[in-house]
């Protein structure tokens, strides 16, 4: 029996998915609808012209928005700014590639196939936002006015924030020119497309290197993370747990000393899961420390931390700091952590009431994963529709999200999900939400991709 959620919105979503043969995948992407309303709404736009909606970002969040807005608004003029023609389907796909389960071709799709009819797609990046005149300018110098601006641009991976590295990229960007460290076989990162594609090969080489060592020799393996406010923190844990399993399978786990350094001392924003992950690390013999990575010297394979501690490495996995990008900071739209400064439950900007944010870019305490997008998009779409119809919105986002963690045991997955009271949620009622399950493996590897591609991104979920 599936874990029940109380609102009819999610019941309808599950019914639709059963018809599609997808079933329980829906629970990952649904939660309770909240009841509070949006405050300080702007005046209803004039009906003598179409409602002009600009979406920055054409990934999972931006595409889902475009489809749902197209159906919800009577007379919309929707413009999506997205310079990338090809993209990956959703963040857990990088995890599947990085751990050797999928090949990178399984992530790619042509964006043109997912832009709804009647929506204007501009293959250009936005370079400035004028919040006074309600318009954006793209890199070709063209200006587009908006009644509503929705930021769905995802996260920027700021590797350059670490001294000795360079690169500020989007995780799904197909890099034409790599930073020098990206071709270093002793460094990896699962968070960008090429990095995920390389990681499985580097893990394989690392295991082979351990096999060749004598029993009194050890490899020094280091995983780092600046803070927990990043997209899919479970991806790095999945990489770590997969490497441990590969070392065990080869009989060389004892030849690797593994350390995980989390700058803020957190492995999850939820205390229950944070404690669980730390227990797993202890059980698997992984050293855990709370120091932030400051610099990397790739020439001598050494790093330095905030406490001035230096450490050599045979392999280094980096989780970079993340933010939504300098464009939004320069436009006065971000909070102190670099995310769009929105109200938690409305996703409406705290100062500019005709601006919203969804997905990784939104500055909320929710998990920054694909699972949060369905309810976030519904909140924003229903709010804009209500304003357009002269009504008071009555739906808000309750903070639901879900992260995927591949476990040390082969073909076993843990889904990190919790409600607004921080209580862990089980996807299936009789299963312990704090344990890894084989059935979740098949759900994650076989069922979620079609659900996301043709349910979520087409606006039906």
Q: What is the DSSP string of 243-299?
A: HHHHHHHTT-GGGEEEEEEETTS-S-SSHHHHHHHHHHHHHTT-EEE---EEEEETT
pLDDT in tens, the chain (461 residues): 333 333 323 333 333 333 333 444 554 565 444 333 344 444 455 567 899 999 999 999 999 999 999 999 999 999 999 998 887 666 778 999 999 999 888 888 888 888 999 999 999 999 999 999 999 999 999 999 999 999 999 999 999 999 999 988 887 777 878 899 999 999 999 999 889 999 999 999 999 999 999 989 999 999 999 899 899 999 999 999 999 999 999 999 999 999 999 999 999 999 999 999 999 999 999 999 999 999 999 999 999 998 888 999 999 999 999 999 999 999 999 999 999 999 999 999 999 999 999 999 999 988 898 889 999 999 999 999 999 999 988 888 988 889 999 999 999 999 999 888 889 998 888 899 999 999 999 999 988 888 888 888 988 87
For residue 33, what pLDDT is reported?
42
For residue 45, what pLDDT is reported?
55
Nearest to 202 by CA among 97, 92, 310: 97
> How far apart (Å, rounded) are the C-alpha atoms in residues 12 and 239?
35
For residue 174, what pLDDT is reported?
76
Residues 147 and 200 in one domain: no
Residues 181 and 286 in one domain: yes
Q: Could you tell me how many residues make up the chain?
A: 461
For residue 25, what pLDDT is reported?
52
375 in any annotated domain? yes
DSSP 411: T
Dihedral (Cα; 401, 404, 405, 406), 10-degree rounding: 170
116 in any annotated domain? no
195 in any annotated domain? yes
* Domain's final residue, options 298, 322, 346: 322
114 in any annotated domain? no
- Domain holding 53, by residue range, is 36-83+123-154+324-399+451-456
> How far apart (Å, rounded) are the C-alpha atoms in residues 155 and 168?
10
For residue 231, what pLDDT is reported?
92
Residues 182 and 256 in one domain: yes
Nearest to 331 by CA among 322, 323, 340: 340
393 in any annotated domain? yes
Residues 316 and 346 in one domain: no
For residue 13, what pLDDT is reported?
36
DSSP 10: H
What are the DSSP calls for 306-368, one per residue? TTS-EEE-SEEEEE-EEES-HHHHHTT-B-TTSSB-B-TTT-BBSS-TTEEE-GGGB-SSS-B
CA atoms within 13 A on the CB side of 155: 29
Statement: the pTM of the whole predicted model exceeds 0.85? yes
Dihedral (Cα; 342, 159, 415, 4), 10-degree rounding: 10
Backbone angles phi, psi at 355, to 5 degrees: -120, 135
Nearest to 276 by CA among 415, 144, 183: 415
For residue 170, what pLDDT is reported?
83
> How far apart (Å, rounded) are the C-alpha atoms in residues 126 and 144?
10
Residues 78 and 204 in one domain: no
Domain at 336, CATH number: 3.50.50.60
Residues 141 and 217 in one domain: no
């Amino acid at each position: 029996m599936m874990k029940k959620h109380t609102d009819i919105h999610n019941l309808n979503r599950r019914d639709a998915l059963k018809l599609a043969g997808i079933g329980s995948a829906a629970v990952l992407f649904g939660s309770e609808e909240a009841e509070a309303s949006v405050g300080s709404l702007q005046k209803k736009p004039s009906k003598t012209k179409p409602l002009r909606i600009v979406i920055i970002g054409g990934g999972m969040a931006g595409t889902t928005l475009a489809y749902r807005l197209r159906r919800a608004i009577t007379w919309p003029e929707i413009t999506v700014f997205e310079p990338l023609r090809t993209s990956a389907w959703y963040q857990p796909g990088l995890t599947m590639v990085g751990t050797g389960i999928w090949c990178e071709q399984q992530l790619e799709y042509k964006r043109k196939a997912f832009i709804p009819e009647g929506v204007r797609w501009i293959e250009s990046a936005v370079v400035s936002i004028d919040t006074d005149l309600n318009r954006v300018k793209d890199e070709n110098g063209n200006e587009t006015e908006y009644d509503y601006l929705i930021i769905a641009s995802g996260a920027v991976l700021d590797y350059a924030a670490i001294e000795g590295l360079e690169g500020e990229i989007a995780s799904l960007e197909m890099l034409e020119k790599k930073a020098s460290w990206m071709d270093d076989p002793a460094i990896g990162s699962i968070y960008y497309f090429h990095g995920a594609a390389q990681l499985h090969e580097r893990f394989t080489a690392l295991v082979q290197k351990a096999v060749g060592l004598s029993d009194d020799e050890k490899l020094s393996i280091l995983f780092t993370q600046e803070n927990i406010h990043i997209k899919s923190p479970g991806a790095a844990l999945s990489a770590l747990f997969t490497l441990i399993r590969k070392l065990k399978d080869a009989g060389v786990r004892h030849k690797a000393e593994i350390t995980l350094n989390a700058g803020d001392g957190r492995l999850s924003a939820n205390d229950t899961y944070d404690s669980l992950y730390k227990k797993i690390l202890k059980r698997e013999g992984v050293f855990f420390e709370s120091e932030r990575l400051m610099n990397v010297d790739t020439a001598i394979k050494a790093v330095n931390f905030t406490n001035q501690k230096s450490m050599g490495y045979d392999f280094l996995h980096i989780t970079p700091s993340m933010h939504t990008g300098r464009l939004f900071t320069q436009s006065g739209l971000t909070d102190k952590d670099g995310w769009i400064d929105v109200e938690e439950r409305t996703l409406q900007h705290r100062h500019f009431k005709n601006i919203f944010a969804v997905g990784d870019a939104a500055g909320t305490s929710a998990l920054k994963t694909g699972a949060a997008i369905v309810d976030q998009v519904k909140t924003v779409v229903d709010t804009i529709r209500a304003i357009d119809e002269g009504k008071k919105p009555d739906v808000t986002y309750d903070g639901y999200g879900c992260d995927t963690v591949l476990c040390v045991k082969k073909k076993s997955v843990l889904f990190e999900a919790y409600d607004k009271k921080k209580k862990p949620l089980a996807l299936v009622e009789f299963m312990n939400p704090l344990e890894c399950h084989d059935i979740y493996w098949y759900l994650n590897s076989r069922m979620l991709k079609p659900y996301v591609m043709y349910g979520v991104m087409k606006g039906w979920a």
